[in-house]
Structure 1
């Protein structure tokens, strides 16, 4: 892998994909923790596995899928920003703010270049570290730390933004006249079932709800985001109660069966997900400085945008009768004139109300830990960022349309917002960092495992992310503890038993029977992380061997 943050995530997703293609793992059990349901949102890996079964290589299937999803996210975010702000220029700026997100890391970049002896181009092609993620920075560039590593988010985010756009349109439209027309139409033709259905169950919002309902198996955090946002908007627009009910019905029809399936038989303990934790991942740093350092001028620009919106709102109230419709780019955030359904009261107030749930999510993520690992709050915070991007983009577009001096200011602000992220993206695409996850011998032993063991066989291997068993599609008693803990799985007892099995001794036989272990892998990975008693396993037949890799058959 060429991304350091993908070192553990890539084997995890490969394990899921190969469990579908080579392990007959459907309905899916957890390939990383045997005897438990696979509660991780697996749809994106199931789609990849489908391409592999159709003849594509895993590498090509993942690459094409990731590029396609990233491009769809770009287009959908551009559309969302345009719909929200009425500014086409803001729509063009928004994807850059997401894909090259970062903070003040570029200041560290210039400092290290200035103190070094390398030329500029030599230095930039041999960057010493990341400038958005690490010990000093925790926000991370979205492309490098989220979309490459968290493939479920890359599928879930475009779908979620589509739903958010529809929720905005529902929230922002004034349908008094349309509502009256519907009543008249229904009264005139009460026998028309289609008209009744459309009135009592608005089909558009119902179908949007069906789309949102697919998220539990795609990206569960995205469903949580939509729940919070729609709950806020419901109370802010109670007059749209029919549409909200239609949306809720659509969600429930699809989501409830999925959630029921996920929550029954899962090893995840939900109690591990909620706890007080102030400042997200700021650790000992000052929280305010932490956010400025990690997001740069983004939050100050966002606050400035809202202040200008409030000022514009006061100005609108004075000039509303004489100037009912103003161009969006020249006067800040305005409704598109062509869209006659946009609510005609002060435009900025609706935007501020729409932003409230996202501000709440930002505060929530900075006060409560929503996952066993506090950094995973990023899965919620990224949607605060998504909702904030259109406003910052619109402010930059507004500056650009003022005069030449403010054009320079807008360009400088944009550069400051994306430079640190662009450096991290450059570090990945230049292949400056390159890690080997599986060695040649691991690939060879996997070929033998596939030929000589049943697809649903249970293996004992070291609890690491890069065990050769990952590539075989076979189940493991347990794998990388970092993944298991982040999913709220209490693995301590099983890990202790695993170590005792590898150490041999009196209890090893009992634990092998307890877990119904069929095969044991001993490789450099096991020898490097566990105490191995190879003499204990010598009584079992070796069914696969290559280099320092050896597979013992425990059950015949």
Structure 2
């Protein structure tokens, strides 16, 4: 029943998204209706519970009020009103009015594959434990802790659960609260995670195809650009062709030794499905808003469909706290296209006014988000906004690095740019600005994470190259020769990613065994959601990830790349586990202690002290949970 209620809840928000699509994009075709229903529905699911939570906390009443608001929007969208004729309907950039088979042929297979990967990579129950895939082994426990803690603690804006003393998240938490709301409705953790992700996948894949179609005005070109982006890869597969079958099959058995992620050979350009959309929720939800937004932006900027600016504002409004990289990419692309508009129209304020309305309204929404959540953490954290040239290249020639990593698309970028028309060049200019910044500036402690920007440049490059390839193939007279050349090009450009996705499909790793699940269930049912736990700093922590309880210090693998100084808390964990005292437990605000297999393996735990000074709450399956009952006066 709780799962059914969650599905109904999601359906109401999608109905509201459909109503907004009817109002804001009245002439949209079936494909656009699907994409923007998903995108607007997600926007509302992200924003409405958060807005009510500012007053009521992230609680069930806030979630229910958000549902009422979404239902009202859904109903209002169907209320009859006079609609002005669509002046842009006859323009070449307007939406198609008929079903486009190429769209469904491209979007449906990758959507279904990705949904299956989410199912097998997220708390997959087998042999009494939770299992995952290769790409989610490291990231998923972090996301689970955020999703669970937001729902359990009810604070909004939420407090960071991984480090005592750290209140600012340092992470775009709206990509997590979009699942936390379903926990409030009683949904299981896995279902709460995946339900909004499924909707986001539809917006990402559909929005990517629409962006290419709106730019290239050709279903064939849009489909090729789609394939080159979502299934594209470089020449990393060649490293696995030597050494016989054993070396090749290592792709499907080794941990992160694939044709798109083989650090030993400086292969760093990952497949976006396997390594960005499935494991990284910020990227998934960021692109779910950004790609449809860019698809509309092309019509707004290049076809002068001025009425689209409110839809653009709505899609962009929450981006900074969903994925900051996507917000920055949108600003850079908009900046270039606005310069183009200024050059063409100069003092034609009737044309420029929608640009100013779009920028002004978005700025008014973004400013408080940036001032209260993003900038304070950037100033307090370490490793943000540093000069660094050449992204993640470690030892290769600059151009060879990108040739072997990106492959066909990178090789053809220059001729494709020269071949393209003026409008397409201007759009790619936004991509070049993204490339320039990404190659010289680090926006977070891990320079590898600049790929979240670089992939937007790459998306525009795939569109550019698809335009060139299809135009050149059309110049070949024989259809059979066209087909052979097309197959050869697609195979060369996608073989590495196909192997990588095959690896993801068969990968299985255990996240939490039955004993870890049992202790998490006990902690969730019998401890204070705000009570802080003392435990080890291991990556897989059931108290943090499955029960959502705040802990003294989490894994440095996460904290370092969030730019946080965790040295004092990490040292305190060892001190408190190995030489505990009432005074220091009180000093670090510890309410509970969990001692499990990882704590016993990584520390010389003084369990006798905890047994003598704390109340034993749980002792099963190798896990012991104590409540701190004595504090220093």
TM-score normalized by the length of structure 2: 0.72
Equivalent-residue separation in structure 2 for 1:233 and 1:514 (angstroms): 55
Which of 151, 154, 157 aligns to 1:24? It is 154
Match of 2:590 in 1: 517
Which of 411, 426, 434 aligns to 2:502? It is 426
The structure-2 alpha-carbon separation of the partners of 1:12 and 1:124, relative to structure 1 and needing over 3 Å to count, comes to closer
Match of 1:193 in 2: none
Which of 486, 490, 493 aligns to 1:414? It is 490
The structure-2 alpha-carbon separation of the partners of 1:492 and 1:267, relative to structure 1 and needing over 3 Å to count, comes to farther
Mapping for residues 341-352 of structure 1, pairs under 5 Å: 348-352=421-425
Match of 2:575 in 1: 500
Mapping for residues 101-500 of structure 1, pairs under 5 Å: 101-112=232-243, 115-116=244-245, 129-135=257-263, 136=265, 137-173=267-303, 204-238=308-342, 239=345, 240-263=351-374, 266=377, 269=380, 272-309=383-420, 348-403=421-476, 404=479, 405-429=481-505, 431=506, 433-469=507-543, 470-500=545-575
1:100 maps to 2:231: yes
Equivalent-residue separation in structure 1 for 2:324 and 2:309 (angstroms): 20
Matched length: 484
Displacement of 1:288? 1.6
Secondary structure of the residue aligned to 2:412 is: helix
Kept in 2, the 8 Å contact 1:99–1:143? The answer is: yes
Match of 2:23 in 1: none
Which of 608, 624, 630 aligns to 1:535? It is 608
Displacement of 1:265? 7.0
Equivalent-residue separation in structure 1 for 2:403 and 2:419 (angstroms): 21
Displacement of 1:166? 2.9
**Could you list the runs of 5+ residues in structure 2 that have no partner in the other structure?**
1-120, 122-131, 346-350
Equivalent-residue separation in structure 1 for 2:498 and 2:328 (angstroms): 30
Equivalent-residue separation in structure 1 for 2:548 and 2:254 (angstroms): 37
**Could you list the runs of 5+ residues in structure 1 that have no partner in the other structure?**
176-201, 310-347
Q: CA RMSD in A?
A: 2.4
1:5 maps to 2:135: yes
Secondary structure of the residue aligned to 1:4 is: coil
Kept in 1, the 8 Å contact 2:236–2:262? The answer is: no
Give the number of the structure whose alpha-carbon radius of gyration is greater: 1
Which of 147, 171, 194 aligns to 1:63? It is 194
Secondary structure of the residue aligned to 1:355 is: helix
388-397 vs 480-489, which moves further:
388-397
Displacement of 1:268? 6.8
Match of 1:549 in 2: 623
The structure-2 alpha-carbon separation of the partners of 1:52 and 1:268, relative to structure 1 and needing over 3 Å to count, comes to farther
Secondary structure of the residue aligned to 2:135 is: helix
Displacement of 1:453? 0.7
Q: Which has the higher contact order (CA 8 A, sep 6+)?
A: 1
Kept in 2, the 8 Å contact 1:459–1:518? The answer is: yes
